[in-house]
Amino acid sequence: MRKNKQEPAIPIISHRGASGHRPEHTLGSYELGARHGGDFLEVDLVATADGELVARHEARIDDTTDVAERPEFADRRTTRTIDGREHTGWFAQDFTLAEIRTLGATERLRELRADNTAHDGRYAIPTLSEIIDLAERLTAELGRRIGVYPETKHPAYHASVGLDLEPPLLALLRERGLTGPEPDLPVFLQSFESQSLAKLEDAEVPRVLLMGTEEHWQPFTTPEGLAEVAGNAEAIGPDKRLVIPRDSEDNLGEPTSLVSDAHEAGLLVHPFTFRSENRFLPANLRSPGAENDYGGFAAEYEAYFAAGVDGVFTDHSRHAHLCRELFFQES
């Protein structure tokens, strides 16, 4: 496949697809994300009982599927401890891929994104291989390369139950020509767990350490911490509040030094997650009306682009695409 060297300077990462418009982690959501201008399809990966990698935000699947309504699976409901927290529900690890395929995907944010519930049950749970198929098809159809951006979800937990995520992920990437310095499609690999990234080193594609706002992440955001991160990753994916925090009234504040410090360490910066609804925006960018109304998202994107970020995770790829175009026209 011919590789287009003119990749976008600030890639738009379709977070679980176009999850502002369709149930997340479905082929319908991913296709819409790319058609709305997304450059990467962001995929959270969990394992089934038979070791297949499927796209779900968590190992627990009842928040985003109709499994709770399926009487044949009622006895699969259980309680598991994942990363120190108890969760009760249905878990991907207790279903084979064939069983997972019988479930319908549903909207997670049912009240906020009520329109998306019209698509409940329309889409199945996709495998990573199917999402790569989609990226290849859309690359040919749209005339630009659509990349994949998989995340290993709770990899230490999966390993503890004998379902390591990294070996099947590496095997699939190699099989599909998505490893090495010039993969057939752009690829980033991401995780909150640095040990998982270390296991993915042989893929020879950029790796991204995700970072939250919890206190234990603070040492990693210092120049010294970022230099250490750079030994095991090529980028960071920080919560966007680590790049531009909010003040005591929840207004958008001033940028921290994180972007410049990361760049000094040789790391790209891809903050998460941009969402256009009032509920998620800084107070000074919210519009009058309901929490599910769109607010002043353009000003938020502009602030982050001006801060020098190298990519954005977004639920609304069309908005990010339009704001990126406008920013570079005016720059």
* pLDDT single digits (tens) 240-296: 999 999 999 999 999 999 999 999 999 999 999 999 999 999 999 999 999 999 999
Residue 131 lies in a domain: yes
Residue 165 lies in a domain: yes
Residues spanned by the domain of 152? 12-59+125-330
Positive or negative, the CA dihedral 286, 289, 292, 298 is negative
Amino acid 7: pLDDT: 67
Residue 106 lies in a domain: no
Amino acid 82: pLDDT: 97
Residue 110 lies in a domain: no
Given a contact cutoff of 8 angstroms between Cβ atoms, the answer to whether 305 and 9 are in contact is no
Residue 114 lies in a domain: no
Amino acid 63: pLDDT: 98
Q: How many domains does the chain have?
A: 1
Amino acid 1: pLDDT: 31
- Other beta carbons within 10 angstroms of residue 2's beta carbon come to 7
Q: Report residue 216 as tokens.
A: 């234990």
Residue 310 lies in a domain: yes
Residue 7 lies in a domain: no
**Low-confidence spans in the chain with pLDDT less than 50:** 1-5
Assign residue 199 the CATH number of its domain: 3.20.20.190
Closest CA to 179 of 200, 210, 155: 200
71 DSSP assignment: G
Residue 64 lies in a domain: no
